[in-house]
Amino acid sequence: MNTLEQAWQNSPARPLSYADHLPTYTNEAPKYDIFATEKQRQDAALAIVALSAQQFGRASSEREPYFKTAGDRYAGVRFLAGTRELYLLQQQIEANNVSIDQQNVEVKQAIISDIAGLRQLSEQHLGRPDKNRFNAIMARAHRDAHATFDMPDVGEDIKLAARRVLERFPQGEPELIDQYVCEVSNELADHWYPALAEKYHSFIELVEPDKVYNSEAMAQLFERALVVMCNEWALPNAARWRAQLWDGNSFNIDHTAKSIRIPSDTINTSNQAINLLVHEAGVHLLRRLNGEKTGDLMLASGMPGYIEDEEALADVLGQIASQKLDKDFLVYDAAIGLARFEPRLPLAQLEDYIVDLEMLQVGRSLEENELLRLKKRVHRVTRGMPSFYIDGELHQVTYNADLKYTRALPKAVSFLEQHRNSPAQALEWVMGGKFAYSNAEHVEYYSRRAWG
């Protein structure tokens, strides 16, 4: 590995997740303090750019990925530092029972201006909510709510949820539903399932039907999956990885520590366990390990802009392999839309609305573990973000990172549709490295570097 590759791999400018700097679901302190790491991250990003100039020459197009990395990190740091300042101010105001409306006009205008700037930065860097998609989701919610009253054996709790949806949710625009609510059809999932069952059969066999898996059991599953990848899949580089419990809210891959991180308080059904094994190890980690085998750093670490395509593919393949399709994508868009568009709800009220929407979708009351999982998903939109009422008007910012799922979902569905006749070959191809399969330049680069 040359000097530039080593810097790319080890730099905190690349591997740290923005979410590591945000409050957790349990209101514990963030894993990293944004103020303590800001200078380190910025210095590392600049060092990578400078080193790329030394290695490639300042006019080289090969430097562009490093510029992209540095630019993304600067934008992320600015956004997190700004939201953190206002979030702490909001907490101080609430703790001291101070009315923001009683402050002088300069203070109020400064807060309003800062929030407007942070909202713009959030939309530029993390994603802009689509009002048409939000209106489509709301229209479908109204359609489903009306249909509930005509269904036999529907519980009164679901009917109450339906009534609240009709009373509190905007009506949306029904003509937009088919265009803006993209999901994996049952027919497409059934078509792809045999190929996925064959590819991931060693993962699926690890999971006992009808068993509930706590955090420790999930860690054991992932450890066994790593053994499968090392021995059965001929990926010796998997031996460097391990499963690790952590205090965060989500399963994810920590490239720096070479660990698959499992929330320390998670409870998962057997279907969810299969989904997670495929999602985290069978897509995210597999693409990393195969990318390493090519000897190309970009395919191992991730080409700039690859993550949206990969996240959507991982989510779709995990659902199909577990034979349990869900509508989790709607949670993020609905929550962000309710806060961003009319009725513009305060962040603290989003959870109550989203619970009704989820009950309507599944047609029953939520079990305790399902309710906790849903609340954590809403928390991914609201965590650490400021929300102020100033002179009767709401000013707030949403954390839009999870919009990457819905932005790329049509690309993942299109990929499945395009490769209906050769799913096994398509899976082998798309798992070869961390590139965006919907990006022609990425595909050309991947084909040249990985396939000669």
Instruction: Encode pLDDT of 93-124 as tens digits.
Output: 989 998 899 889 999 999 999 999 999 988 88
7 CB-near residues (< 8 Å, 6+ apart): 44, 47, 48, 51
Name the average pLDDT for the chain: 89
Beta bridge partners of 213: 268
pLDDT of residue 193: 97
Could you tell me which of 170, 189, 173 has the C-alpha nearest to residue 181?
173
**What is residue 265's three-state secondary structure?**
coil
Structure token pair of residue 64: 């562009």
pLDDT of residue 46: 84
Beta bridge partners of 387: 396
Which amino acid, 442?
Answer: H
Give the distance from CA 96 to its chain's centroid: 35
Structure token pair of residue 181: 């609510």
Low-confidence ranges of the chain (pLDDT < 50): none
pLDDT of residue 354: 95
184 CB-near residues (< 8 Å, 6+ apart): 316, 319, 320, 325, 413, 416
Asked if residue 44 lies in contact with residue 12, where contact means CB atoms within 8 angstroms, the answer is: yes
Distance between CA 286 and CA 345 in Å, rounded? 40
Which amino acid, 448?
Answer: R
169 CB-near residues (< 8 Å, 6+ apart): 138, 141, 142, 353, 357
Strands 213-214 and 267-268 come out as antiparallel
Q: Model's pTM, two decimal places?
A: 0.76
Distance between CA 397 and CA 24 in Å, rounded? 17
Per-residue pLDDT reduced to its tens digit, 31-60: 778 877 877 877 888 888 888 898 888 888
pLDDT of residue 73: 73
pLDDT of residue 33: 81
Beta bridge partners of 388: 395
Beta bridge partners of 245: 262
Residue located via tokens 């420790």: 216
- Whole-angstrom CA distances from 266 to 56, 319, 369, 413 are 46, 18, 9, 29
Asked if residue 170 lies in contact with residue 342, where contact means CB atoms within 8 angstroms, the answer is: yes
One DSSP character per residue, 349-388 reads: GHHHHHHHHHHHHHTSPPPHHHHHHHHHHHHHHHTT--EE
